[in-house]
Amino acid sequence: MSNTRSHTSPQADLKKSTVKLFLAVAAWVGSTALMSFGPSAFWDFDTAITFLAIVANLILGVLMLYSFFRHLKNMDELQRQTHLEAMALTLGITMVLTVIYGALPQAKVVASAQPANVLFVIGMSYILSVITLWLRRTRE
């Protein structure tokens, strides 16, 4: 029923998976920056190198997802439930706000909708949801 593949303590496993997740996220962010700015800054829009950068970004993205799932598995059940509820909240908040944001250019309130803003909403919603849900359950 519990995690039986580990021979170390759950806290040690969680610390290890946190470090691995941090490294995976850092590698993905780095490859995203390279994919975005590399063509103009480093290889003068060479299509083959850009293609390689995209493939590298995709592979690192999959590795980041894998690291995140491993990290979730190493959490204890309250931590895991908190993160899963935060993900559900984030999905709802992002969906509602993205629909509104997507309608703004048509209403000529903003010139154009930028995908980076949606990513910002996802990140902030997730962080705030995790903190709020965790504090609600664990405040002394």
88 binds other proteins (CB under 8 A): no
- Name the one range near other proteins by CB under 8 A: 2-10, 60-68, 100-108, 113-121: 2-10
Segment (H or E) for 2: none
Contacting residues for 86 by C-beta, under 8 A, at least 6 apart: 126, 129, 130, 133
Pick from 5, 115, 116, 140: which binds other proteins (CB under 8 A)? 140
Find out whether 54 and 35 touch, Cβ atoms under 8 Å.
Answer: yes
CA distance 124 to 57: 23
10 binds other proteins (CB under 8 A): yes
CA distance 93 to 125: 7
Cα separation values, 125 from 3, 9, 59, 90, 95, Å:
30, 31, 26, 5, 11
Pick from 9, 47, 106, 112: which binds other proteins (CB under 8 A)? 9
- Name the one range near other proteins by CB under 8 A: 7-15, 36-44, 97-105, 124-132: 7-15
Which residues from 42-81 bind other proteins, rule CB under 8 A? Answer: 76-79, 81
92 binds other proteins (CB under 8 A): no
How many residues in the shown chain lie near other proteins by CB under 8 A? 15
- Residues that bind other proteins in the complex, under the rule CB under 8 A: 1-2, 9-11, 76-79, 81, 134, 136-138, 140
